[in-house]
Structures are given as C-alpha cells and as structure tokens.
Chains A and B, each alone.
Chain A
Amino acid sequence: MIALEYFLGLSAILFIIGAIGVLTKKNAIVVLMCVELMLNAANINFVAFSAFSTPVNMNGEVFALISIAIAAAEVAVGLAIIMNMYKTRDTISLDDINLLRW
C-alpha cells in the first residue's frame, strides 16, 4: 500500500528535473525531452489522484491518455521544426537560434 504523498513527490521531482533541463540545456532535442518529462509528471498526478478517488472512476486515466496523445502531436511538430532548423542553419544549439528573440 503506497501512500498518495509518494506519487506526488515523484511527480514533483520529475517536474523539477524537466524544468532544470528546459532552463539550462542548449540542445533542442534535450529540451524537447525535458518538456516530455514535465508532461509525464502531470500525468502521474492525474493517474494517482484518479486511482485514490472513491468511488473509483476512470476520469484521470482517460485524461492522462489524451494528454499523452497531445504530447505525441507536439513532439511530431517539434522534431520537424528541429530537422528544418538543422537543414537551414546547420545547428540545433538554442543559443545560436535567435531569430525570434526580442
């Protein structure tokens, strides 16, 4: 029997690892992977709260599945953008891509 706090703590730690990666990494693919870590932290929260709810319902699991599908769509477009970036600029380092920076 695992308490709810352990799930929430795991989710918080995963989210912070992802946030640190997004804020410090230079490689665009690593940043995309860290965004996925943060999304999965939110999914762990959804599933944990849904599994602990009484009476048992499936809303959290269904929402986690929809969230995973949206994450897949986001990664598809993001990887295509990174590929295009590499083709036109020969780099995926985010410090060198300052076209949209104010």
Chain B
Amino acid sequence: MNKRNVFVGIAAVLFLIVVVGSILATQWPAGSLGTTSNQDFGNAIFNEYGFAVLIVGITLFVSMLGGVYIAQEEKE
C-alpha cells in the first residue's frame, strides 16, 4: 500500500463522514414511499419527454458510430 492510497482512503472517509452527517442532520420533508405504476412511467416518458427520448436516441446512435470508428481495424 503506497502513500497515495492512504491519502485517498483518509479523504474518502472524511468525505463519507461529511455526506452521511449532512444527510442525517437535514430535516427532510415528510413523505412516504409512493407506489408508481409502469403505465404512468410510459405515459410520462413518451408524452412529456418525447423530445428528450429522441435526443437520447440520436446521442446513442452517434456514440455507436464513434465507437465503431475508433475500434475498427484499419486497412493496410
């Protein structure tokens, strides 16, 4: 175990203490775990967020093209 890993571990423990402490110290608004239906999810994603889904599709397509272009075997 080298010195960098020790520093990273100490920083991670401090960060965990800060985050969990702030989670526990915050007074969250009272609410309960609601039930959600898949039909509502489908309506929300295609009615309200249809344009975002299209943009995500374009992003996936372009990243697929980029991945194939980077990883292809070059010809001699």
Instruction: Give me the interface of A with B, judged by CB distance under 8 Å.
Output: 1-2, 4-5, 8-9, 12-13, 15-16, 19-20, 23-24, 51-54, 56-59, 61-62, 65-66, 69-70, 72-74, 76-77, 79-81, 83-84
Contacts and interface: CB of A to CB of B under 8 A. Distances in A.
Interface size bracket, B side: 35 or more
A15 B71 CA distance: 30
Contact of B71 (A61, A70, A83): A83
A18 B15 CA distance: 13
Chain B, interface SS category: helix
A91 to B, nearest CB: 17
5 contacts: A52-B31, A56-B40, A66-B52, A73-B63, A76-B67
